[in-house]
Amino acid sequence: MVPVSRSATTQPPASLEQAVVDLVRAGARGQGPGVRKVATQLMRNVPQGVADKSIFREAVHQALSTTHSGLRLGVSDVPREPDSRQPLVDVDDSPDGHGLFLPPDLMDSLHMIVAEHARASELRQAGVDPTRTILLSGPPGVGKTMSARWLAQQMDLPLVSLDLSATVSSYLGNSGRNIRQVLDYARSGQCVLLLDEFDAIAKRRDDDADIGELKRIVNVILVQLDRWPATSLLLAATNHAHLLDPAVFRRFERVLDYPSPRREERYLILRSLSADQIDDDLVSLVAGATTNATGSDLKQLWALSVRRAVLESLPVSHTLLEETARTAPHPGPERDRLLYEMEQNLNMSQRQIAAICGITHPTVSKAISRHRRLINE
């Protein structure tokens, strides 16, 4: 195979005419990678003579996306903070969304988004594009970041993650430039872009001290939301959707609300984590007793239980019961059952159970008696 000319692979085209020549040369030689290389350079360094750079980038991006292979991001070209040279984003070329369990309606929404992008050409023939921008809203630990991984995995795209809170706090004076760099990088190839801690920049602001820089950042984001290419997906995650500037909120095509996991989701998360190391009855018991736990909380609970089981040479069922009890679940039938199981299956005294749970011995005694009466009825 004849190599693409040096000007077509290592140097950005100086003019629109040169760009056309480079593309024709690579295309005439049947070099798909060469075409994509030149196109990448065109999108990152738009040549002189192009009237609207954003429209030009999107047109090139969509033209390339009609091929089966599409245009992948260059991992070696990750944008960096000019002074520190630290990467501004994390690029995961093989995202893993395994273990995502959400309410059925939320999972249906995610599946629909994947289907839209898989059948994008049919949608365009019908006069619409697939969903391009989505706001993920909910408390910490409920699956927003995992959803981003799952979507990227299902769409076979790299996941590009930017922590806006860290970016703004670390590089406030350069934040606008840095975020623009990241957005240009993400637009240069097909990807799922996650803007985490989105409320760090897009919330309502009454403080004049930071309003100038942050207003410029918000304006950059607003423009990009309107022009984001339909070949990629932009996700923004926030723990405080009610704080967002209404102008920003309205720009998202879809808003997905993430509730804390219900008992059914907690059961599925624990079942996935335990991989059949504990029986279903115990999984169900722990799922019922961890009323306020998020998916992240359950992962930490399981990891701690496994560590203790290994280090103390105990069954993981033993340590899981103990660690669940330490979370001091609210009084009720689930806690009564938990305390009963600790007495019966772990051979613990009621005083030991009281010490672990941080409650009184009489409270433990009454709870166990209630559950014993219940199972004898």
Rounded-to-integer distance, Cα 78 and Cα 181, Å = 9
Compute the mean pLDDT over every residue in the chain, rounded to the nearest whole number: 82
Q: For residue 105, what pLDDT band results from cuts at 50, 70 and 90?
A: very high
For residues 278-288, average pLDDT:
91
Residue 71, pLDDT above cutoff 70: no
Q: What share of the chain has pLDDT > 70, as a percent?
A: 80
Report the pLDDT value the prediction gives residue 51, as an integer from 0 to 100. 78
Q: For residue 1, what pLDDT band results from cuts at 50, 70 and 90?
A: very low
Report the pLDDT value the prediction gives residue 205, as an integer from 0 to 100. 55
Residue 175, pLDDT above cutoff 90: no
HEC string of the chain equals CCCCCHHHHCCCCCEHHHHHHHHHHHHHCCCHHHHHHHHHHHHHCCCECCCCHHHHHHHHHHHHHCCCCCCECCHHHCCECCCCCCECCEEECCCCCCCCCCCHHHHHHHHHHHHHHHCHHHHHHCCCCCCCEEEEECCCCCCHHHHHHHHHHHHCCCEEEEEHHHHHHHCHHHHHHHHHHHHHHHHCCECEEEEECCHHHHECCCCHHHHHHHHHHHHHHHHHHHHCCCCCEEEEEECCHHHECHHHHCCCCEEEECCCCCHHHHHHHHHHHHCCCCCHHHHHHHHHHCCCCCHHHHHHHHHHHHHHHHHCCCCHHHHHHHHHHHCCCCCCHHHHHHHHHHHHHCCCCHHHHHHHHCCCHHHHHHHHHHHHHHHHC
pTM of the model: 0.73
For residues 243-271, average pLDDT:
90
Q: Is the distance from CB of 144 to CB of 54 less than 8 angstroms?
A: no
pLDDT digits (tens, 9 = 90+) for 246-255: 888 888 999 9
Structural domains of the chain, with CATH: 6-74 (no CATH), 76-257 (3.40.50.300), 263-376 (1.20.140)
pLDDT digits (tens, 9 = 90+) for 186-230: 888 889 999 998 887 776 555 554 556 677 777 778 888 888 988
Give the range among 38-52, 256-270, 305-319 with minimum mean pLDDT: 38-52
Q: For residue 159, what pLDDT band results from cuts at 50, 70 and 90?
A: very high
Of 344, 342, 345, nearest to 354 by C-alpha is: 342
pLDDT digits (tens, 9 = 90+) for 6-63: 444 445 555 666 777 777 666 655 555 566 667 767 777 777 777 777 777 777 766 6
Q: Residue 236 — φ and ψ, nearest 5°?
A: -125, 130
Report the pLDDT value the prediction gives residue 131, as an integer from 0 to 100. 95
Q: Is the distance from CB of 187 to CB of 71 less than 8 angstroms?
A: no
Q: Residue 271 — φ and ψ, nearest 5°?
A: -60, -40
Report the pLDDT value the prediction gives residue 248, as an integer from 0 to 100. 83
